[in-house]
Every structure is written in C-alpha cells, then in structure tokens.
Amino acid sequence: MNENRRQILEMLAAGKITADEAERLLVALELNPTRILPWLQQFAEVSSPAVTDICPL
C-alpha cells in the first residue's frame, strides 16, 4: 500500500472523513493523483475537508 492510500485510510479511521469521502479520495488518487496529492499534503492545516471540491463523483 502506498503512503497516500495509507494517509486516506488513517483519516477515515480517525473520523476526519466519512467512508464515502475516503472512497472518493481513493478513486481520485487512482484517476488523477496530481489533483489529489496537493490536497492530501495540506489536509493537516484544514479542519473540514471539502472532498466534493476535488473529486465530485
């Protein structure tokens, strides 16, 4: 498992994102990693992620 997928799963386990949000992020990570990686890196600074802003499935 790569580090980015692990980070998403850790956010899910910590209750920072919902299961639906985690699924969207994982799909976005596979389809367009250049779009999702900056968001993942900045997530620690944001209290409420806007997952739908980066991967509106």
pLDDT tens digits for 6-55? 988 998 999 988 999 899 889 888 888 777 777 777 764 555 555 555 55
Q: Write down the pLDDT at residue 54.
A: 53
Largest CA distance in the chain: 26
Containing H/E element for 40? helix 33-42
By the 8 A CB rule, do 39 and 6 touch? Answer: no
Q: Is the pTM of this model over 0.85?
A: no
